[in-house]
Structure 1
Amino acid sequence: MKTPIWKEPGLPGETSWMLILKTDLQGGGWKNVQNMSNQGKRLLPQRIELQKLRRRIMQPSQSIEPGSTAPDFELPNANASVGKKNMTLSDVMGENGTIVFFTCNHCPYVVGSEPRIERIAEISRSSGIGFAGINSNDPVKYESDSWENMVKRASKGMSYAYLHDSSQEIALSYGAERTPEFYLLNSRQEVIYRGRMDDSPRDPSHATTSELEDAINSLISGQEISTARTESIGCSVKWKA
């Protein structure tokens, strides 16, 4: 007999919950799944996954919020038609700032946003703002996010640099939680907006807000950004075990 007795929150950005199960092993005596018995070995996959989650929760990371200076980086570029083979934050910067966003190949929130992302990239470039995507997902768990598949994706008309954060150090340094998640920087490399593009990344017909574009317009016009921080909407960054 198994029963869920407690729920532990998932990782930041994760909407799911991990169930910790206890099993009736000996005449009604409850043992935690971590006290492995022969009968409890069938719960080994759950135990392993829980340990991975706990390691990730305990892994140190900082959250780059509006007002912070964005961390620099140097990452390989999967898009041969845009930029250099390896690109730094300075390479991505435009005259008026830049947008760095965390993305991937497989997430439905990214896929549903692609036309709008390309539109924002074009608006940014025409406004003197650089634009680049960073893929930090673990390609072992998600082969669609491998370097080879990033190259294939970029070759299908992507108009911006597509950078590979294979160590996941850049995602950690930015405190990235989801894909897509956007960071708008001014010309001094200070974060002035972080969060979502709008409130319906999967379906543009349901979008009622445009926070990222509003922030771009405020930056270009020299006005204060009214909403500098929103919660991104998307898939969690797929961390390595």
Structure 2
Amino acid sequence: MSLNIGDAPPNFHLANANTAVGSNQVSLEQAFDKNGLVVVFECNHCPYVVASISRMNAMAEHCQENGIGYVGINSNDPLVYENDSFANMEKRAQKGMPYAYLHDSTQNIAHAYGAERTPEFFLFNAQHQLVYKGRMDDSPRDPNDVMVRDLDEAITAMLSGKVPDVPITQSIGCSVKWKSR
């Protein structure tokens, strides 16, 4: 299942690896700000995420300046990639991260959102409705090649009371590393 435009975000209450921003546990309601919320499914090892870190940090700061919450959620199985363990999430956060970095150890939240890749973004408005899902931009591995800033355009539209011209894009990145069932 995947969320559709207009859907409410599935609730979460997850451990936070970045206690410099937020408490040890962060809920959906705590993550929301007055104008909405961006949820990004990410991890530590994916080269698409690694190449996007400075842009994701800048996006988080842009969101904060505009009254939009921003959280990262790592749902990857650390048995598949040790770099995605909670301890390694804490190490990454200590290097400087302006947002809460949450651990979805059961992978229930990634399933509930329909997350498929890292990084993958979900933008919700102040009424808790999904208005955009997909990629941040069209070149996650090389910021010099970015031609379209999809998430930024969706945020601009949302803040001006409009519907994004493109509400769904295909995220570009590594697949979520699922636990074997």
**Residue in 2 that maps onto 1:155:** 94
Residue identity in the other structure for 2:174 = C
- SS across alignment from 1:121: helix
C-alpha deviation, 1:141, in angstroms: 1.1
Q: Deviations over 1:90-137 (max 9, x none)?
A: 000010001001000000000001111111111100000000000000
Q: What is the CA RMSD across the aligned residues, in angstroms?
A: 0.6
- 1:207 counterpart = 2:141: no
User: In the alignment, which of 56, 63, 82 is matched to residue 124 of structure 1?
Assistant: 63
Instruction: In structure 1, give the amino acid aligned to 2:120.
Output: E
Q: Secondary structure at the match of 1:226?
A: coil
Aligned to 1:86: 25
Which whole-Å CA distance do the structure 2 matches of 1:224 and 1:240 have between them? 36
Match of residue 47 from structure 1 = none
User: Which residue of the partner structure matches residue 34 of structure 1?
Assistant: none
User: Is the counterpart of residue 102 in structure 1 residue 41 in structure 2?
Assistant: yes
Matched, 1:133 2:64: no
Letter in 1 for 2:69: G
Q: AA paired with 2:2?
A: S
CA deviation map 1:186-211 (0-9, x unaligned): 11211100000011000011111011
Say whether residues 1:189 and 2:128 are aligned partners.
yes
Aligned counterpart, 2:8: 69
Q: Is the 8 A contact 2:33 2:67 kept in 1?
A: yes
Secondary structure at the aligned position of 2:6 is classed as coil
Shift of 1:162: 0.2
Structure ID, larger Rg: 1
Q: Per the alignment, in what secondary structure is the counterpart of residue 70 of structure 2?
A: strand
Residue of structure 1 equivalent to 2:51: 112
Secondary structure of 2:154's match? helix
Q: Contact 2:131–2:167 (CA<8 Å) still a contact in 1? A: yes
Q: Distance in 1 between matches of 2:14 and 2:161?
A: 31
Distance 1:217 1:168 in 2: 31
Aligned to 1:216: 155
Question: What is the aligned partner in structure 2 of residue 198 from structure 1?
Answer: 137
- Deviation at residue 222 of structure 1 after TM alignment: 1.2
Aligned to 2:104: 165
* Cα distance in 2 between the residues matched to 1:99 and 1:198: 14
Q: SS in structure 2 opposite 1:173?
A: helix
Q: Over residues 34-65 of structure 1, what are the superposed CA-to-partner deviations in whole Å (9 max), with x where a residue is unaligned?
A: xxxxxxxxxxxxxxxxxxxxxxxxxxxx2112
Three-state SS of the structure 2 residue aligned to 1:153 is helix
Give identity over the alignment, percent: 53
- Letter of the 1:123 partner, please give it: H
- Distance in 2 (alpha carbons) for counterparts of 1:65 and 1:232: 15
Amino acid aligned to 1:214: E
- Residue 224 of structure 1 deviates from its aligned partner by 2.0
Higher RCO (CA < 8 A, seq sep 6+): 2
Aligned-pair distance for 1:70?
A: 0.9
User: With structure 1 as the length reference, what TM-score do the two structures score?
Assistant: 0.74
Is 2:131–2:163's contact at 8 Å kept on the other side of the alignment?
Answer: no
Q: Which runs of 5+ in 1 are unaligned?
A: 1-61
